[in-house]
Amino acid sequence: MSSECDMLHGLVDKIPKIYIKEMDYKNIPVDGIYFITESGENYKDLERIVRIGFNKKKGNLPNKIREVLWGSSSFRKNLRKAIQKRYKNFKTPEEINAFLDQYVRENMKICFVKIDSSRVRKRLVRKFKKCIESAEHYKPSPEWLGKSSSKAYIRKKGFWHLQNFKTSKSQVPDSIDLEFLSERIKKLDKHQQ
């Protein structure tokens, strides 16, 4: 299973990533999937993917990203709880939120792949999550913020998702899924030249 995770990280490494603080919502595709990496977190010699997601509603990826990063998403809730547990010097919720906002801006990078079909987006994200869940060498660093999470799965696996994908019926990505992602990335390269 690690070979699929190697290939997934290798493909995502080819997509230009930007720090959240530099992100322009006008440049986000209206439909697609996103990958988030975090400073100091590596998978072998590549930046480790710590979250994957997609938009369910057509034309809504920029709004989905706003909700995930700045709204009441489970991602933010889990980050907030980990910060509260690790850093006990905050006295007010406003102080915690300010630190959380700064942490996301300064430590997280994001990239996108445009995919028009909702069905394809959903299938790929499920398979990519399963791929990470199954990878032997996918582990967080000892300093990772998620090590302070109250959720055992997040602490152990190093992935800012709650669901344990061992119970998922989806399979790891096959060569067709990885080829599809590769072709999408090649299209990104052509648009940037």
pLDDT tens for 47-68 read: 999 999 999 999 999 999 999 9
Q: How far is residue 154 from each of residues 6, 61, 115, 142, measured CA to CA in Å?
A: 20, 24, 28, 13
Tokens of 97: 């939120």
Model pLDDT, residue 193: 37
Distance CA 188, CA 193 (A): 9
Q: Quick one: pLDDT at residue 177?
A: 86
Report the distance separating Cα 20 and Cα 175, nearest Å: 31
Examine the pLDDT at 179 and tell me if it is beyond 90: no
Q: What's the whole-model pTM score?
A: 0.90
Question: Closest by alpha carbon to 113, among 28, 9, 6, 20?
Answer: 28
| Domain ranges, ordered by start, for the chain | 2-173
Kindly state the average pLDDT of the residues 8-30: 95
Q: What is the pLDDT of residue 167?
A: 44
pLDDT value at position 169?
55
Report phi then psi at 15, rounded to 5.
-85, 130
Q: What is the mean pLDDT of residues 103-125?
A: 95
Q: Residue 88 pLDDT > 90, yes or no?
A: no
Partners of 68 in the β-ladder: none
Residue 118 amino acid letter: S
| C-alpha span between 6 and 87 (Å, rounded) | 33
Q: Say if residues 161 and 68 touch (Cβ distance below 8 Å).
A: no
